[in-house]
A and B are shown apart, each in its own frame.
Chain A
Amino acid sequence: MYTFQGYKRENGKYGARNLVAVIPSVICANDVGQAICRQVQGTIGYFHHQGCCQLPLDLKRVTDVLSNLGQSPNVGAALVVSLGCEGTDHERIVEEIRASGKPVEIIRIQELGGTSRAIQAGIDAAQRLVLQISGQQRVTADISELVMSIKCGASDTTSGMASNCVIGYVADKLVDLGATVVFGETTEFLGGEHILARRAVGGENGPVGRRIYQIVDEMEKRAMSIGEDMRGGQPTPGNIAGGLSSIEEKSLGAIVKSGHRPIQGVLDYCERVDGQKGLWIKDAPGREPEILTGMAATGAQCMMFSTGRGAPQGFPSMPVIKICGNPNTYERMQHDMDLNAGRIILGEKSIEEVGEEAFALLLEVLSGRMTKNEALGYYGSMDIFCLGPVI
């Protein structure tokens, strides 16, 4: 039996971190939120760029994502920073976070009389929340309480042959232990979607299999609707320099990280997994800020992130474990990379051996050990994936 030490939440979930989340309901509230975070220890901010002058479906989406981020297990309490005239439903964000059993407060910049007064009120509120939750102790949680997200970024050809294989090994092991694993990057299913659809519960022609083809088709049509060749943007120039010649090659290497277990279903970008076990797909694009936000909003306590070229960034409230497939990159970027899967390429270690190291590291990180990006404070960027234009 495998366990980790987590913070038990009112709703029965277990957090790997115990943070006070500062949540601006709109981009225009970010500066106030940043001032609060600079002053108060134990806070993190979700400094996104959305929340006003968007179509109703996107405003609902932004509200849903911010609410789900506030409810995520790694967040112990939340402070919503509202401007007052934004398009998002900041009152619903507060209500839903409160209903999940977490302490939550809100400050309204226009109502309080502007920036300096809002910053003062926000610092007071954030300090209260930090003092309220900071004494909570970790308790033992079974590994089946884990929702792990997986992702690859700044990939090269070692990703699909080493680091993604390691993550696939861990994903299979977690699914077998009754945990939840979520992967995404729909763009990087292109060319490999038939392999994923055949792994769907109910088969390629069942509802889940058909949905996998549908989300890939929608993503491909969206890219092609501009009338351009996707090769200008995917694979990225870095991918190409790393030896990846086409989106198909990138995709076939990327899906290796999902392991071999059946795919239970497809989650929309804003959707949470609540008690759903096994392997799931999150319909999200590949770019880091948007997919990491989507994964944290899903309820993931941790992310395992495979890279070849060396992607350093993390996420405000979710530790990101970097598994590096390229031994040369690991050598150069040891301060950013948590585990060297390049030893597989060199023939020094097997996928299973490095997979077990990655699994052991995961349990430590869930129990409080910092990832390298956390220790460096490299976790500021995030954003919310919207569908419509800014209007």
Chain B
Amino acid sequence: MALALKVDEKDNVATVFENGIVSGMTVTVRDKAGRSEDIKVIGDVPYGHKIAVKDIEAGAPVIKYGESIGAASRDIARGEYVHVHNMVAMRGRGDLAEG
């Protein structure tokens, strides 16, 4: 079974370390404590990319390492591929009015 790793208890994403993961396949998400759960992947996920391990509402923080790595730019379902197409950085944004 393909493996995905969750770094921190609070994380709502996990990183998939397997080549050739396409929509509909199932990966095993493991955390540091050794607990694991199987999640069905939505979207094709390249090696080293992330999937959601929980539903994430648009505007809510995406959490990895137990910290915010940005915000969901639209609703993200559990298992869905998470990357620049559905999340945005919130730092260094000279294009945003409030900085």
Interface residues of A (CB under 8 A from B): 156-158, 160-161, 190-192, 195, 220, 223-231, 234, 240-243, 245-249, 252-253, 308, 326, 328, 345-347
Known A-B contacts A191-B68, A252-B65; A246 and B88 likewise in contact (beta carbons under 8 Å):
yes
The answer to whether B17 and A158 touch across the interface, beta carbons within 8 angstroms, is: yes
Known A-B contacts A245-B50, A248-B70, A252-B65; A161 and B7 likewise in contact (beta carbons under 8 Å):
yes
Q: A344 to chain B: closest CB distance in Å?
A: 10
The answer to whether A230 and B92 touch across the interface, beta carbons within 8 angstroms, is: yes
The answer to whether B94 and A227 touch across the interface, beta carbons within 8 angstroms, is: yes
| Binding site secondary structure of chain B | loop
B20 interface residue, CB < 8 Å from A?
no
The answer to whether B92 and A247 touch across the interface, beta carbons within 8 angstroms, is: yes
Interface centre among A228, A240, A252, A326 (most CB of B within 10 A): A252
The residue that B90 contacts in the complex, of A192, A224, A228, A248, with Cβ under 8 A, is A248
Known A-B contacts A243-B15, A245-B82; A192 and B94 likewise in contact (beta carbons under 8 Å):
no
Question: Which residues of B lie under 8 Å from residue A328 when comparing CB positions?
Answer: 19, 47
Q: Which residue of B lies closest to A190 (CB)?
A: B91
The answer to whether A226 and B94 touch across the interface, beta carbons within 8 angstroms, is: yes
Closest 9 CB pairs of A and B: A230-B92, A224-B94, A246-B89, A249-B69, A243-B49, A243-B48, A229-B95, A246-B70, A157-B48
Q: B63 to chain A: closest CB distance in Å?
A: 10
A257 CA to B84 CA in the complex, in Å?
A: 25
The answer to whether B92 and A192 touch across the interface, beta carbons within 8 angstroms, is: no
Known A-B contacts A227-B95, A228-B95; A252 and B48 likewise in contact (beta carbons under 8 Å):
no
The residue that B69 contacts in the complex, of A225, A246, A308, with Cβ under 8 A, is A246
The answer to whether B94 and A157 touch across the interface, beta carbons within 8 angstroms, is: no
Q: B82 to chain A: closest CB distance in Å?
A: 7
Known A-B contacts A224-B99, A243-B48, A328-B47; A249 and B93 likewise in contact (beta carbons under 8 Å):
no
- In addition to A245-B83, A345-B17, A347-B3, 8 A-B residue pairs with Cβ atoms within 8 Å of each other are A224-B94, A228-B94, A229-B92, A230-B89, A230-B94, A234-B92, A249-B70, A328-B47
Within 8 A of A (CB), among B64-99: 64-65, 67-70, 82-84, 87-96, 99
The residue that B93 contacts in the complex, of A192, A230, A252, with Cβ under 8 A, is A230
Q: B88 to chain A: closest CB distance in Å?
A: 7
Q: B55 to chain A: closest CB distance in Å?
A: 18
Q: List 6 A-B contacts (CB under 8 A).
A: A224-B92, A229-B94, A243-B48, A245-B70, A247-B89, A345-B17
